[in-house]
Structure 1
Amino acid sequence: MMFKGRVGGISDDGLGMLKVGGRKFYVPFAYPGDVVQVWKAKRRFGRRIALDFEVIDESPLRHGARCPHFGTCGGCLWQGLKYKEQLRLKAKIFERITGVKAEIKSSPKIWGFRNVSNFIVITSGIGLKGYGNPLGVVNLRECPVFSKRTQGYLRALRGFLKETGLRPWNPREKSGEIHYLQIREGKFTGEVMVTLIAHVKPSNEILKAFNDHFSQADSIYWSLKVDGRDDPRGEAGLIAGKPYIRERVKDVTYFLHPNSFFQTNSYALPLLLKAVEGSTDGERVLDLYSGVGTFGVWLAKRGFKVEGVELNPFAVGMANRNAELNGVDSIFRVGKAEETPIRDYDTVIVDPPRKGLKEAAELLVKSGVEKVIYVSCNPKAFKLDYERHLKGVYHIDGAILIDMFPHTPHVEAVVELVKKE
């Protein structure tokens, strides 16, 4: 197969789209206006994806990518796109999916903004997954969206592996000892947490070697992984330093742990928190899917009476620690969102997982609460929840988009839902 065409649009997941002979093709790392020469395409999930291609005439929307790994690494699909165009297309895609026109706020920083990165350690290299290659990895030298210190972190890891002889994970054979290196940085505190995700219990000598190679970190963990799944999850055990690092967002400080979920863009997070705060009415607030208290503690600091509900007991413990750390009167408890009684709250905040609310949407409808603030990074899940469950009772009173994920097609939405008269 060989053909040439001009990219005419962008898909919901950020791929360039072109039509040739009545057939539609999707091209990664390509943007509207690009002319591409395609040599090979493969059918995946009902779509024809270009695998081997070249941009032979560049779109005026393009600019030079900063990262040397752009075009192979799966992390930054849109790094070759001018930032203003990224914002415009994100708002356009959100409106196309949901029917909601929304203002979009740019990230204050578009380089070095990520506060966490999970580097895969496998036999073919150490770095991040390549686009369209689930078993491969881009052997990283640097990562400009994460940290200027990336090179140092990876150098320390390679030195540790060489000294100890521990083997990288083999994804085909499901064998090996070391699977991931997770680095968390407090962008506003300067604190660093290093976690090695491994399939082996370490000896004292190995622990000492790991500590020596990452001696500048404030917190060092060894996380034992007991399954073969390709994710950075394990039983985290502290081996040196502090059990938590801190991140400070304006006047609120959060504890972070290897198993904590926290928004990845520390610089744009205040915009997200202020958007939620600006939509919150009344005094009593229920924070469903409250996690480590990111929204709840922020709102409590501003005088709202907050109760949070979260399924994960560890996250609930962290949320209560964060409340105590900031001296606020809020309560977080373990529970299922869909089983939470909604009494006389003035506002309910929901920040569900990517799959959306599902059963919890019916709970909101029956509750009669006047205001719901729906926070989501998945506009398709929001649309399903709204169209299937919430639309009959609530109308959309406004939406704000926050660019938490520069150089990707993703965006965070804060949608304000008000009970119909």
Structure 2
Amino acid sequence: MRIRGEIKELSADGLGLLEGERRIHVPFAYPGDYVLVRRTKRRFGRRIATDFELLEPSPLRQTPRCPHFGACGGCLWQGLRYGEQLRFKAELFERITGISAPVKGSPQIWDFRNVSNFIVTAEGIGLKEYGDPLGVVELSECPVFSKGTSEYLRALRAFLSETGLEPWDLKRKAGEVHYLQVREGKFTGELMVNLVAHTKPSKEVAEVFRDYFSFADSLYWSLKTDERDDPRGEPEIMGGEPFIRERIGDVAYLIHPNSFFQTNSYALWLLLKAVEDFTDGEKVLDLYSGVGTFGVWLAKRGFEVDGVELNPFAVEMARKNVELNGVNARFRVGRAEETPIGDYDTVIVDPPRKGLREAAELLVKSGVERVIYVSCNPKAFRLDYENHLRKTYRIEDAILIDMFPHTPHVEAAIWLERT
């Protein structure tokens, strides 16, 4: 198989499209690229190029900063100029949702991620290889995460060498150390290191662990009791503080190994401001409130906030953030789709990637005038809106925030007003 051609457009998930007798999705390729495809595979009903060559580069390209670009699955668009990334994000969002919205770029496009999960395997230590669930790219650096990446990975490799702990084997689903999670407070300089392992450390191993990662402000060991390939476990503090802090504007947030927090601290202010500007009235309901990212920010601005979140630990963290910032907000455990929506002026929803589903009908039947829908999944928003929300709400305004430079993803804040 040898198919040559020019990439004319991008798929909805950011792959280059090569048209011919069969449409081929080409990763790391952009409009204007002239490519040669030698081999493909079928996945999820699409034909994806697995062996291809760039013959003539697009004028839209830039030189990627990362030496692992093209293999690592983290950054499909790092070879695309940043201004073009923003343009395509707005175009893809409009193609999926029908909404034309301005996009605000990230204030920082390198070293912006505040968390990274490095997989530790017999095949290598680093990040997953694009398109191969068993492939791992042996990392030496990560310019989208942190200048400290090489130091963190050196400490990890030295720790494994001294202790003899066995890396996880993706094929056999066996081993001892599975992930190293590192979190940084970009505006506080605080650092959390969390080792995710399938075994508890002995006293000697724990001491070696503390020695190699003595630069961390907070040090955890998370016991993983399942074989799923994810960086989740039951954390036990091994040294330092139980939390690190991140500060966005005048609001401080506590971060724990089990916390979900937006990954781009620099662009988070833009998202919070967009939600604030769309919010109206005095009483706000924050559904899917998590650790209180939106609710605490709005409470700091004088809104009276109630938050509902299914995860009890996230609610506990939200309450700590309320206390830390001295604001008027109440958070409780509950299911969004079972929450009685009372006399609120604005409801903010930041659902999981699958969208609102049943909770959408709850909003339709409520008397709430304004809904702010926050999402990084435009397909889920489209389904929620077309199947439920459009019965009662019109799209008044929207803004896109680039929380994820060098990827096809973008965060949207969408203002819905009752008709």
Q: Under TM normalisation by the shorter chain, which class is it? A: over 0.9
* Structure-1 residue corresponding to 2:298: 299
Where does residue 271 of structure 2 map in the other structure? 272
1:81-96 to 2 correspondence within 5 Å?
81-96=80-95
Aligned to 1:12: 12
2:231 maps to 232
Q: How many residues align?
A: 419
Aligned-residue identity in percent:
71
Structure 2 counterpart SS, 1:158: helix
User: Which residues of 2 match residues 257-336 of structure 1 at below 5 A?
Assistant: 257-336=256-335
Question: Which amino acid letter does the alignment assign opposite residue 109 of structure 1?
Answer: Q
Structure 2 residue matching 1:23: 3-state secondary structure: coil
Match of 2:242 in 1: 243
Q: Distance in 2 between matches of 1:352 and 1:45?
A: 24
1:172 corresponds to which residue?
A: 171
SS at match of 1:189: coil
- Consecutive unaligned residues of structure 2, counting only runs of 5 or more, are none
Shift of 1:245: 0.2
Rounded Cα–Cα distance in structure 1 between residues aligned with 2:18 and 2:172: 38
Q: SS at 1:52's partner residue?
A: strand
Tell me, in whole angstroms, the C-alpha distance in 1 between the residues paired with 2:336 and 2:217: 35
The whole-number CA distance in structure 2 between the counterparts of 1:26 and 1:117 is 27
Shift of 1:163: 0.4
1: CA distance, partners of 2:75 / 2:228: 24
Q: Which runs of 5+ in 1 are unaligned?
A: none
Partner amino acid, structure 1, of 2:239: A
Residue 121 of structure 2 corresponds to which residue in structure 1?
A: 122
The Cα shift of 1:368 comes to: 1.8
What is the Cα deviation at residue 219 of structure 1? 0.2
Matching of residue 36 in structure 1 with residue 35 in structure 2? yes
Q: Give distance in 2, aligned partners of 1:409 and 1:348.
A: 28
Q: Distance in 1 between matches of 2:356 and 2:252?
A: 28
Counterparts of 1:400 and 1:3, CA distance in 2: 39
SS at match of 1:343: coil
Q: Which amino acid aligns with 1:313?
A: P
Shift of 1:329: 1.2
Instruction: Tell me, yes or no, if structure 1 residue 191 matches structure 2 residue 200.
Output: no
CA distance in 2, matches of 1:288, 1:135: 37
Q: 1:66-215 alignment to 2 at 5 Å?
A: 66-215=65-214
The CA deviation string for residues 308-327 of structure 1, in whole angstroms up to 9 with x for no partner, is 00000000000000010000
* Secondary structure at 2:362 match in 1: helix
Aligned residue in 2 for 1:53: 52
Q: Give, as a single letter, the amino acid of the residue that structure 2 aligns with 1:144.
A: P
Measure, in 2, the Cα distance between the counterparts of 1:188 and 1:104. 24
How far apart in 2 are the matches of 1:170 and 1:63?
36
3-state DSSP class of the match of 1:153?
A: helix
CA distance in 2, matches of 1:182, 1:106: 26
Secondary structure of 1:183 counterpart: strand
* Cα distance, 1:266 vs structure 2: 0.2
C-alpha deviation, 1:45, in angstroms: 1.1
CA separation in 2, counterparts of 1:324 and 1:203? 36
1:220-251 per-position Cα deviation (integer Å, ceiling 9, x unaligned): 00000000000000000101000000000010
Cα deviation per residue 1:305-352 (whole Å; 9 max; x = unaligned)?
000000000000000000100000100000000000000000000000
Cα offset for 1:44? 1.1
Alpha-carbon displacement from aligned partner over 1:170-190 (angstroms, at most 9, x marks no partner): 011111000000000000000
Amino acid at match of 1:238: I
Give the Cα separation in 2 of the matches to 1:11 and 1:398: 25
Amino acid at match of 1:277: E
Q: Deviation of residue 35 (structure 1)?
A: 0.2
- Report the equivalent of 2:222: 223
Q: Return the offset for 1:136.
A: 1.2
TM-score after normalising by structure 2: 1.00
Distance 1:39 1:197 in 2: 39
TM normalised by structure 1 equals 0.99
Aligned amino acid, residue 158 of structure 1: R
Correspondence 1:373 to 2:366: no
SS of equivalent to 1:253: strand
Q: CA deviation at 1:135?
A: 1.0
State the Cα deviation string for residues 119-153 of structure 1 (Å, max 9, x = none): 00000100000100111110000000000010000
- RMSD over aligned CA atoms reads 0.4
Aligned partner letter, 2:190: E
Residue type of the partner of 1:18? L
Cα distance in 1 between the residues matched to 2:140 and 2:162: 20
Residue 304 (structure 1) shift: 0.1
